[in-house]
Amino acid sequence: MPTLILTRHGQSEWNLQNRFTGWVDVDLTEQGRAEAKSAGQRLKAAGLAPSAAFSSNLKRANETCQIILAELGQSTLPMTRSEALNERHYGDLAGLNKDEARQKWGDDQVHTWRRAYDISPPGGESLRDTVARVLPYFVNTILPQTLKNQTTLVAAHGNSLRALIMALEGVSKEQVPQVELATGEIYIYELNAQAEITSKQILKPE
């Protein structure tokens, strides 16, 4: 049965520092590497072995994917990288501590930039913009491989994965602010031939 595995990268250095990261290419922390290792162990315990792996162009997602594959004994499985799966671009917010941003622009404005579907921060992307680049790549590249009865792993980011979850689950733009993935969290979908979800499982970080 076609199986799609979505996982958010482990904790990054800027997650730890509470900074807006976006397309800035920061490393995982040691905790982030442990979260990725745990994700691989949880997938192994579930009996899941990817036959295809995808990630963004950012090293925190790439390393997460590599650690997971190593835990599964699949270090030689090729990983396809694409900018289309990158995190949402935060523009002028990138690098700022979130508390500092609230002091500069106010709580309400920062909350709107973070959670509104179609409002972007200065110089950055809205979630709608992120959906516009993630979804075509998923439909044209990832989904066709998955539907060939493969188990496909996608290691990406909070917002690029929220974009995929919106499409897969039919989540509305009003509902999507409530969708939140922790670092190292895993969503597992079994699909039918029409790409409809037949089962869903969430493996929380330990």
Closest CA to 145 of 134, 133, 137: 137
Closest CA to 50 of 3, 109, 111: 3
CA angle 40, 43, 29 (to 5 degrees): 25
Give me the active site residues, please. Answer: 9, 87
- What is the crossing angle of helices 98-105 and 107-115, to 10°? 120
